[in-house]
Structure 1
Amino acid sequence: HSTSITAVNVVLNVGAATETVEVAAEAVGVETTSASVSLMNKAAGGTKVQVHEETFTPRLRDYFPETLYWSPSVITDPNGRTHLKFKLADNITTWKMTVLASTKNGEIGVTDSEIPAFQPFFLEHDPPKVLTIGDLIDLPVVVRNYTAQAQQLNVEMKPAAWFDLEHPGKQSVLVSGGESATAVFPFRATAMVKSGKQQVYAASRSLGDAIEKTLTVHPDGMEQHSTVSGIIRGSDNLSLRIPPDFVSGSLQAKLKIYPNLLAHVTESIEAGLERPYGCGEQTISSTYPSVLLLRYYKASGISNGPLQSRANRYLNLGYHRLMNYRESVGGFSYWGHGSPDVALTAYAVRFLSDASGFIEVDPEIIQDAEKWLVGQQNKDGWQPRYGEDDHSLTAYVTVTLAESQKQLSEPLKKSVHDVVTRALAYLADPHRRLSDPYGLAELAIALNLNGEEQQASAIVITLSKLATPEHGGMYWALERNTPFYGWGNTGRIESTAMAVLALSLVTPATVEGRQLIDAGTLWLLQQKDHYGVWYSGQATVNVLEALLKGVDSFKPADRDATLNVTVNGHVKPLQVSSRADAPVLLDISHFIQPGENTISVQGSGGLTAASVQVVADYYVPWAGTTAAESTRLGKVEALSLAVHFDKTDVRAGDLVRCAVDAERIGSRGWGMMIAEIGLPPGADVDRRVLDDVISNSGWEISHYDLLPDKLVLYLWPRAGGTK
């Protein structure tokens, strides 16, 4: 009891924490808050005292994976027990957990469980993942209150440099108990950004929530890429041309130094996953670089390479995805339904045989696929399902079976040996007159694997005479389609890679042979695309196989080097180690200008196998204001893609119909097309329509992938085009 004012200051600070949750029977709720309270009591003499309470400060939720935890192989103790620890995500959801277990004697058990993740008050913030500069979005943020009391809340969108709020970023929202309300925040995307952060907060005095999501904003225009590659030697210059009308601020250019051949393999492990992998062939090709890297580590005696765990993880993922394409008869199909494909099944056998050295692969899967291949051989070889028989498919399958027969047991081993012998006799018949470099290279490899070195050497002599010089290197032209329907420049890369591989395996250690291998390798290094791979999965895997065969001969000295990178007269020193197993990157965006750009790298020192690539990504203005037809012309073929929307001025909730016409002009380019159809932000694509289109298209449309900003269609257009 006193007539004076008593001030009580209470401060409670609990810092933000990341909690690792061990999941047992029930979900564990973790809430971390910070709060400050300043309280003034009323004096006995009747003096009024102001009471001030600060609002609740919530923990920021920013981790929203689609898969919380995945492990292909968990070893238990002798009693079948194990413990796993993982970070619980920030999703408000119920996670479904599936566990499949097996014993040494083949017993299998499966169980499902659920992990609910919930809090009584939360926000739903779901912005479009991809925007274009200039897009104006009225973004709804849903406030859900599952408590018993009404809550008066301040809802706020934090400002960021890449967007402008059209209205004040703070709103006051009243939400009744057990109800929800919506706060709308109009904002305009104003700057290009990758993984730009957008934060939304909501808080009352007693509770709150905060969410951070990431968005990508690109310029308003068509994305373009320019690349140039070369070998670091002397004072050679690279010339990179940038169109003068590119969208200002959109240019991003980087220079990549590959200190050795292995750096190309490590880059392709991640780069390959950026390409579509919706079919069986793409699934294998996106995973194969991991096998090649692990194989190199093993052959080099490297027990714990820097990328070993990542490569093993990707390999396990790829193996389990591939099982979705296995048919009951033993072969593999492109889409996991329908008839198996001969070339794809041979590719799967090759991949699984290589992968079995690093992960657990069911040997019966490989044997069943080989039995199916044996049963598909006609009197001489294997015939392609479509297009002209040029014997390359027979040569390809023969290589696969010739390589795998050493690991087989009877009676399958004898069956495989018989079909290999019969196929080689068919291919080596002088009347066949094989002249295509791809088929000749495969035949030379198959003969060598079968112990027929003399015949293989004779084929290689013929192959050597077909090399064509270009830009200091050598390439082998592709006269026909590959077994995976490669053609054009990509087919030429495949053909050259196979020729280099055949020369490396068969050619005696002569100066001339080594020079030809080196020249082919140099040409291949000049062909990388802006992703860091070689345009297609088949081309990339074949090139990496050829490069790894040459690692020893290109082995650099164990030393560091200082390189002087000159871009349009601007010099930038760069330290590079010959032991680096990944490319060294340098941002040169500020030095690149419209028109011709001159780039040189000097001072290679001990980097005897070093190469350089410059990649420039930029946008150019659209040719028109609406969707139009696009035709890409080449030396041999053309692709045509036309996209038509029935309306371009739309409001929220409007139905927009899109018509797509795709066509391969010409007759030689058999195979699949991948068509990418851009989607506006916030568009909700009706999957039922897509499913109906696929089911009614016969063999023309096989599959689709729905991404945040595009629809990817896998097509096999009929003559005259597919609609």
Structure 2
Amino acid sequence: NRPDTQLETMEAAMPKGWGYGGGKSASAANTRIRSEFKPWAYYNGSVVAGKDGLATVSFKLPDDLTTWRVMAVATDGDLHFGSGEATFIATKPLLSNPILPQFLRKGDRFEGGLSVTNNTNKQGNLTVKGELDDNIEFVAKRSKSSETLRAKLGTGTEAYRFPMEANRPGEATVRFVTEMGRRMGDAFEVSLPVQSLSVSETVVESGTTSDRAVIPLNTNKNVVSDVGGLEVTMASTLIPEITAPAKDVFREDRLPFLEPAASQLAIAANLQILGNKYGQAFGDFEPAKQAALALEKLAKLQQPDGGFAYYPGMEYSDPFVTPYAAEAIAKAIEAFPYLVKPEIVDGVEKYLASIWAEPGQYEYCDEELCKSQIRLGAAIALAEFGDRRNAYLADIYKEREQLDLVARIELARYLSALPGWQQQSQEMFDRIQESIYETGRNATINLPRGWGWLNSETAAQGSALRLFIARDGSQETSDRLLQSLLSLRRNGTWQTTYDNAKALNALVDYSETQPTPPNFNATASLSGQKLISAQFEGYENPTTSVNVGMDALPKGQSQLILDKAGEGTLHYLVEYSYRLPGNQPGRFAGLRVSREIRPVGSDEVLQRIDLATPEKPLTVKAGQVFDIGLEIVSDRSVDRVIIKDALPAGFEAIDSSFQTSTPSLQAGADSWAIGYQQIYRDRVEAYADRLEPGAYQMHYLVRSVTPGTFLWPGAEARLQYAPEEFGRSASATLEVK
């Protein structure tokens, strides 16, 4: 009620760091080292009280030294309830807390340390001993792994910082032990993730050979020596063709949207099925773990009607993508029957039955063609659960010529399993064969421009291959369809999560038609030096691989030679990745992205980062709040745009959506077309369904928290289903003083 009143921000005793002030905190010197930190100490959803109305629970507190809040809700089962809460404090006479960033990137130099609170009301002599593992080191000290500091400690809280540098990717461990006198102490141990520098480019070569394959390699002398390298995979099956796209889908943090989650689930299930057939382990993939993560994402998107929303916050189910997700769930039941919860299956089956019976429940779907499209998707998904329906097939079949080519292929495959529709299926199969262009090597679907990404060229090629297998088409045509499907890859993978999943579905079906076990020897050599040699006999050990670090690769021109002797086909995959030194320039490939940094509430631009790398670092003071603004420019209409802006480790993003957020600290307004934004510890992501030609703005707030010098990767905007169209601003360097 006093709009002219200005509040002066109080200075903190020290800049904020990870774990300071509770949450993830720290413990002691003869002294037990505190390392178990949790955001909550105990939960019990069903505690039964005695006749006196009292209930007792016991639990072990985590190592956090903080104020704990106890909340309880009671009910008598007859719609009567009540609630209550209380607090208690876990503390020590001498306590310490870490002052560290939330993450680091290799090469970041920073001032990390701890805060020490003396609750004894007495001064004393303080000793601080710090220990680091190999991922982080102390700078300019005799020992890079340990450091000791002695100081006078008064009452209250003091901060102690040490210059450190992140020198190796991985989970670093930071330990500090504090002692005051001989009887009081505390100690903590926390982990701190160190991210690797991203590669600038990756080149992938894959294929098959019956005798020898020669792959030229040119290693530039200026590449960063400890990033990237050469990975060679040889196999007697299609596993290399499957492993590369699976790596691509699982290695990157995807937005928690319906299609990527469903595609990850489908790929994990297919890998498990193939692994069971070939006795193959997929290294770091752990298909069951990836499937569990994907199912968790799907559960969060499931709506009360049983369908799935396309992204978090959407309040209705997507009738076009939900059937695709249901197919992935059915595949997961086959591969991981113990993972899929019955309530997810029951809900989605109920929803599929609903849109099968009444697709016109959606206002935008009042035409027969739209209804047939939704019913076809529901029918195919229900069939995967063993519920094959034919009640509305006559209506769908009547609209077949109006369906896109991919839908016609799927309809023909669906009809081929129904005894009463064999003639119609054969007629459609014959018509579809007319759309296949065959050469001596490939057989390609001639695909007109579809109405959406669900009908991509890869999806059409994969569906056609599955149709030929279902109809027992000629093996020669199936082989050529497979070669055409593989030729659609770029750098070893198909271009989207959806395309990868659809292609892998077809590859799994095709692999089941290959009964002849191989028996041959294969050798990989680089510049005359043998890298690996393996004997492939049957399917017991169908794949082998070798990694050569960048520092071990010969500089300049060389040749990788793969030799094979014996019966069978050698499948290979060669991946070469590298990074150029220094900050990386921006890229313009259909979209343009720039980043501006200004103090919150000010129009003054401290730095604008476009395509060119900045000439000097951006220098800011610790404890300040800044508005980060991205501008995304498109000269044409684009659909489903993913925006990612990486944070430097010296910044923390501020979530201003809480009701307790300070009203005076507000980011600039976002363009209305950008409808989804999510904050992570190392990045901020956003999403737009459609952008018309023009410039679009996105803003968020950050606080400078950790002094040091940090790498700041560029901001990127990319089309989700055409990732070759993207834009990226240059990377930069941030200095926090």
Picking from 670, 675, 679, the partner of 2:643 is 675
Asked if 1:565 corresponds to 2:524, the answer is yes
Point out where structure 1 has 5 or more consecutive residues left out of the alignment: 1-29, 34-55, 72-85, 100-108, 633-637
Structure 1 equivalent of residue 397 of structure 2: 424
CA distance in structure 2 between the aligned counterparts of 1:117 and 1:307, rounded to whole angstroms = 45
Structure 1 equivalent of residue 462 of structure 2: 497
Structure 2 equivalent of residue 321 of structure 1: 297
Asked if 1:365 corresponds to 2:347, the answer is yes
Partner AA of 2:223 in structure 1: F
Secondary structure of the structure 1 residue equivalent to 2:416:
helix
CA distance in structure 2 between the aligned counterparts of 1:113 and 1:312, rounded to whole angstroms = 40
Structure 2 equivalent of residue 661 of structure 1: 631
CA distance in structure 2 between the aligned counterparts of 1:579 and 1:117, rounded to whole angstroms = 58
Asked if 1:720 corresponds to 2:694, the answer is yes
Secondary structure of the structure 1 residue equivalent to 2:511:
coil
Question: Is the CA contact (8 Å cut-off) linking 1:280 and 1:325 kept in structure 2?
Answer: yes
Partner AA of 1:125 in structure 2: P
Partner AA of 2:468 in structure 1: L
Structure 2 equivalent of residue 642 of structure 1: 594
Secondary structure of the structure 2 residue equivalent to 1:575:
strand
Shift in Å, 1:478: 4.9
Residues 318 and 251 of structure 1: CA distance in aligned 2, closer, same or farther (over 3 Å): closer
Question: Is the CA contact (8 Å cut-off) linking 1:402 and 1:450 kept in structure 2?
Answer: no
Secondary structure of the structure 2 residue equivalent to 1:446:
helix
Shift in Å, 1:713: 1.6
Shift in Å, 1:542: 0.9
Picking from 310, 319, 335, the partner of 1:334 is 310
Secondary structure of the structure 2 residue equivalent to 1:649:
strand
Residues 600 and 464 of structure 1: CA distance in aligned 2, closer, same or farther (over 3 Å): farther
* Percent pairwise identity: 14
Shift in Å, 1:212: 4.3
Structure 2 equivalent of residue 685 of structure 1: 653
Partner AA of 2:620 in structure 1: V
Structure 2 equivalent of residue 512 of structure 1: 476
Asked if 1:631 corresponds to 2:631, the answer is no
Structure 1 equivalent of residue 56 of structure 2: none
Picking from 272, 278, 283, the partner of 2:249 is 272
Shift in Å, 1:184: 0.8
Residues 183 and 441 of structure 1: CA distance in aligned 2, closer, same or farther (over 3 Å): same
Structure 2 equivalent of residue 537 of structure 1: 497
Secondary structure of the structure 2 residue equivalent to 1:340:
coil
Residues 68 and 614 of structure 1: CA distance in aligned 2, closer, same or farther (over 3 Å): farther
CA distance in structure 1 between the aligned counterparts of 2:467 and 2:85, rounded to whole angstroms = 53
Report how many residues are paired.
611
CA distance in structure 2 between the aligned counterparts of 1:397 and 1:581, rounded to whole angstroms = 41
Partner AA of 1:361 in structure 2: P
Q: How do 1:352-501 residues align onto structure 2 when only pairs under 5 Å count?
A: 352-356=329-333, 358=337, 359-362=340-343, 363-374=345-356, 377=359, 398-404=376-382, 417-427=390-400, 429=401, 432=402, 438-451=406-419, 452-464=421-433, 466=435, 475-476=444-445, 478-481=447-450, 483-484=452-453, 491-501=456-466
Structure 1 equivalent of residue 193 of structure 2: 215
Point out where structure 2 has 5 or more consecutive residues left out of the alignment: 1-25, 45-58, 73-80, 598-604, 607-617, 698-737
Partner AA of 2:534 in structure 1: Q
Partner AA of 1:503 in structure 2: F
Shift in Å, 1:423: 1.7
Residues 159 and 310 of structure 1: CA distance in aligned 2, closer, same or farther (over 3 Å): closer
Cα shift readout 1:369-401 (whole Å, capped 9, x = no counterpart) = 21442366359x99789xxx9979955751441
Partner AA of 2:115 in structure 1: V
Picking from 203, 208, 215, the partner of 1:226 is 203
Cα shift readout 1:296-351 (whole Å, capped 9, x = no counterpart) = 678x699x999999645544443343232233444322124234322122223323
Partner AA of 2:501 in structure 1: V
Picking from 528, 533, 549, the partner of 1:574 is 533
Structure 2 equivalent of residue 154 of structure 1: 127
Shift in Å, 1:596: 5.6
Picking from 315, 320, 324, the partner of 1:343 is 320
Structure 1 equivalent of residue 11 of structure 2: none
CA distance in structure 1 between the aligned counterparts of 2:101 and 2:439, rounded to whole angstroms = 46
Structure 2 equivalent of residue 257 of structure 1: 234
Secondary structure of the structure 1 residue equivalent to 2:694:
coil
Secondary structure of the structure 2 residue equivalent to 1:722:
strand
Q: How do 1:290-301 residues align onto structure 2 when only pairs under 5 Å count?
A: 290-293=268-271
Asked if 1:289 corresponds to 2:267, the answer is yes
CA distance in structure 2 between the aligned counterparts of 1:256 and 1:651, rounded to whole angstroms = 49
Residues 198 and 710 of structure 1: CA distance in aligned 2, closer, same or farther (over 3 Å): same
Question: Is the CA contact (8 Å cut-off) linking 2:240 and 2:573 kept in structure 1?
Answer: no
TM-score scaled to structure 2, two decimals? 0.68
Asked if 1:707 corresponds to 2:680, the answer is yes
Residues 683 and 542 of structure 1: CA distance in aligned 2, closer, same or farther (over 3 Å): same
Question: Is the CA contact (8 Å cut-off) linking 1:564 and 1:602 kept in structure 2?
Answer: yes
Structure 2 equivalent of residue 105 of structure 1: none
Secondary structure of the structure 1 residue equivalent to 2:620:
coil
CA distance in structure 2 between the aligned counterparts of 1:539 and 1:621, rounded to whole angstroms = 34
Question: Is the CA contact (8 Å cut-off) linking 2:110 and 2:165 kept in structure 1?
Answer: yes
Picking from 488, 507, 510, the partner of 1:547 is 507
CA distance in structure 1 between the aligned counterparts of 2:162 and 2:542, rounded to whole angstroms = 47
Structure 2 equivalent of residue 584 of structure 1: 545
Cα shift readout 1:178-224 (whole Å, capped 9, x = no counterpart) = x44321112344x45344444444345443414242332545x9733
Cα shift readout 1:389-437 (whole Å, capped 9, x = no counterpart) = 997995575144145158688xxx8xx633343123201x3xx4x6x65
CA distance in structure 1 between the aligned counterparts of 2:427 and 2:263, rounded to whole angstroms = 31
TM-score scaled to structure 1, two decimals? 0.69
Secondary structure of the structure 2 residue equivalent to 1:672:
strand
Asked if 1:137 corresponds to 2:110, the answer is yes
Residues 493 and 719 of structure 1: CA distance in aligned 2, closer, same or farther (over 3 Å): same
Shift in Å, 1:572: 1.4
Cα shift readout 1:133-172 (whole Å, capped 9, x = no counterpart) = 5543122412345678766432233366654515683212
CA distance in structure 1 between the aligned counterparts of 2:106 and 2:32, rounded to whole angstroms = 31
Secondary structure of the structure 2 residue equivalent to 1:124:
strand
Cα shift readout 1:619-642 (whole Å, capped 9, x = no counterpart) = 454465xxx6x421xxxxx23323
Question: Is the CA contact (8 Å cut-off) linking 1:521 and 1:547 kept in structure 2?
Answer: no
Residues 511 and 57 of structure 1: CA distance in aligned 2, closer, same or farther (over 3 Å): same
Partner AA of 2:399 in structure 1: Y
Partner AA of 2:131 in structure 1: K
Residues 711 and 253 of structure 1: CA distance in aligned 2, closer, same or farther (over 3 Å): farther
Q: RMSD of aligned C-alpha atoms?
A: 5.1
Partner AA of 1:566 in structure 2: S
CA distance in structure 2 between the aligned counterparts of 1:622 and 1:222, rounded to whole angstroms = 12
Partner AA of 1:714 in structure 2: Y
CA distance in structure 1 between the aligned counterparts of 2:284 and 2:551, rounded to whole angstroms = 35
Partner AA of 1:438 in structure 2: V
CA distance in structure 2 between the aligned counterparts of 1:172 and 1:306, rounded to whole angstroms = 51
CA distance in structure 1 between the aligned counterparts of 2:199 and 2:40, rounded to whole angstroms = 33
Question: Is the CA contact (8 Å cut-off) linking 1:58 and 1:209 kept in structure 2?
Answer: yes
Residues 113 and 678 of structure 1: CA distance in aligned 2, closer, same or farther (over 3 Å): same
Secondary structure of the structure 2 residue equivalent to 1:246:
coil
Cα shift readout 1:593-622 (whole Å, capped 9, x = no counterpart) = 566653232236566463323241424544
Question: Is the CA contact (8 Å cut-off) linking 1:268 and 1:289 kept in structure 2?
Answer: no
Question: Is the CA contact (8 Å cut-off) linking 1:475 and 1:496 kept in structure 2?
Answer: yes
CA distance in structure 2 between the aligned counterparts of 1:478 and 1:95, rounded to whole angstroms = 62
